């Protein structure tokens, strides 16, 4: 265990950024999102949740995959260079770290996404316990402990200090690289334990603390899919896609080509299963109604994904969709609707 005073954090950030890219929660234009640190950055480690999750550090909102150049039949394909330098993502919350693990199941499975894999190989995750969990949080429903975040290094912020504990080999190497700025704190474990206890006491009082996942598993496809509850639930949906863009685990994307002065570039960008033209082909679309699209989103997170990933849910309880949906539709409302009405196909 190590610690550094809060007043020396700027020196720590400068040391990290001297040899690696450093991503932190940064305030710009009145909003806080993860961004690259520089001397002028307004760092906001006190903000519990960034507007968007930091998933786009590993799975960018838009990225070029390769460029095609040439003339006639002489075509050259130049793939985009892969990430080849280490970088640090500092201040990720427990829910967002779990979100990256969900993405690992998608992009690191065969066939592996080499762009994502390169970023994961070079990324160092410094997670931070949630000092003040909010009413919209329900990460504990999915077995996540906001007081003991996963990652390469776990951190806890107290009134005066930031405590750091390496959890992986990457984490050990990171601590070694900045150890000159840290103080050993092996004899202060009780301080961290007290902070963890305080956080867990808050979690016990949150309104969604007892949210139940009973009936939501990989074997409930037919029961949930055919339920008439969807007919009522989906109606306020605006198909705006806000829920998918703030979600730490949504991974839908589109791929397009566009012509530039340097040639034709193929890029991919985030897409949303809530859009009417998602996966649209010349022959049409498999999901032609908003009810079908709405149902797909939640069936995937709570049934399809765990069915194919050893029970891992594709929701981490961060609460961003609870906060951001303009129609007050979210996964909590879906779970509660089925719990209240029985959830079966014969309701």
pLDDT tens digits, the chain, 347 residues: what are they?
999 999 999 999 999 999 999 999 999 999 999 999 999 999 999 999 999 999 999 999 999 999 999 887 888 999 999 999 999 999 999 999 999 999 999 999 999 999 999 999 999 999 999 999 999 999 999 999 999 999 999 999 999 999 999 999 999 999 999 999 999 998 999 999 999 999 999 999 999 999 999 999 888 898 899 999 999 999 999 999 999 999 999 999 999 999 988 889 999 999 998 888 887 766 666 788 999 999 999 999 999 999 999 999 999 999 999 999 999 999 999 999 998 765 444 33
Examine residue 215 and state whether it is found in any structural domain, yes or no.
no
The answer for residues whose C-beta is within 8 angstroms of residue 57's C-beta and 6 or more apart is: 23, 34, 87, 89, 119, 123
SS (H, E, C) 264-324: EEEEEEECCCCCCCCCCECCECCCCCHHHHHHHHHHHHHHHHHHHCCCCCCCCCCCHHHHH
Q: Are residues 291 and 164 in the same domain?
A: no
Residues 103 and 246 in one domain: no
Residue 182 shares a structural domain with residue 318: no
Same domain for 238 and 184? no
Determine, yes or no, domain membership for 153: yes
The pLDDT assigned to 343 comes to 46
pLDDT at 52: 95
Q: What is the pLDDT of residue 346?
A: 38
Which residue pairs, CB below 8 angstroms and at least 24 apart, start in 336-340? 336/211, 337/229, 337/232, 337/233, 338/215, 338/216, 338/224, 338/227, 338/229, 339/212, 339/214, 339/215
- Let me know whether 187 and 241 are in one domain: no
Domain count of the fold of the chain: 2
Query: Does 216 fall in a domain?
Result: no
Q: What DSSP string describes 185-252?
A: -GGGHHHHHHHHHHHHHHHTTSTTTT---TT-STT-HHHHHT-THHHHHTTT-----HHHHH-SS---
- Same domain for 187 and 225, yes or no, is no
Say if 232 falls within a structural domain: yes
User: Which pTM was predicted?
Assistant: 0.92
Same domain, 193 and 229: no
Note whether residue 48 is domain-resident. yes
In Å, what is the CA distance from 41 to each residue of 14, 123, 160, 201, 228? 11, 21, 21, 33, 50
Query: Is residue 158 located within the same domain as residue 226?
Result: no
Are residue 148 and residue 109 in the same domain, yes or no?
A: yes
One domain for residues 175 and 228:
no
In a domain, 210, yes or no: no
User: Are residues 118 and 240 both part of a single domain?
Assistant: no
Domain extent for 311 = 221-252+271-341
* pLDDT on residue 3: 96
Predicted pLDDT at 341:
64
Q: Considering the domain boundaries, does residue 214 fall inside one?
A: no
């Amino acid at each position: 265990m190590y610690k550094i005073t809060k007043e020396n954090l700027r020196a720590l950030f400068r040391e990290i950024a001297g040899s690696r890219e450093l991503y932190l929660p940064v305030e710009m234009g009145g909003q806080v999102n993860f961004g690259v640190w520089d001397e002028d950055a307004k760092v906001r480690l006190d903000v519990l949740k960034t507007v968007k999750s930091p998933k786009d550090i590993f799975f960018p909102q838009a990225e070029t995959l390769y460029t095609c150049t040439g003339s006639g039949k002489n075509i050259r394909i130049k793939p985009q260079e892969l990430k080849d330098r280490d970088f640090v993502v500092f201040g990720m919350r427990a829910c967002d770290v779990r979100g990256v693990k969900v993405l690992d199941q998608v992009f690191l499975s065969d066939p592996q996404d080499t762009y994502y894999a390169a970023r994961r190989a070079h990324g160092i995750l410094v997670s931070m316990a949630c000092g003040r969990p909010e009413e919209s949080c329900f990460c504990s429903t999915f077995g996540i402990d906001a007081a003991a975040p996963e990652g390469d290094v776990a951190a806890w912020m107290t009134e005066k200090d930031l405590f750091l504990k390496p959890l992986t080999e990457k984490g050990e190497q990171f601590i070694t690289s900045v150890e000159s700025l840290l103080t050993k704190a092996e004899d202060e474990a009780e301080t961290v334990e007290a902070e963890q206890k305080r956080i867990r006491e808050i979690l016990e009082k949150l309104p969604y603390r007892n949210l139940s996942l009973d009936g939501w598993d990989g074997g409930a496809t037919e029961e949930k899919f055919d339920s008439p509850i969807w007919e009522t639930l989906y109606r306020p949906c605006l198909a705006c896609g806000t829920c998918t863009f703030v979600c730490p685990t949504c991974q839908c994307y589109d791929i397009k080509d566009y012509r530039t002065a340097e040639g034709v570039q193929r890029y991919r960008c985030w897409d949303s299963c809530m859009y009417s033209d998602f996966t649209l082909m010349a022959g049409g679309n498999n999901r032609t109604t908003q009810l079908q699209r709405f149902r797909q989103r939640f069936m995937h997170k709570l049934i399809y994904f765990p069915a194919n990933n050893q029970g891992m849910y594709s929701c981490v309880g961060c609460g961003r969709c609870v906060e951001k949906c303009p129609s007050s539709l979210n996964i909590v409302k879906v779970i509660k609707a089925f719990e209240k009405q029985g959830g079966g196909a014969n309701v």
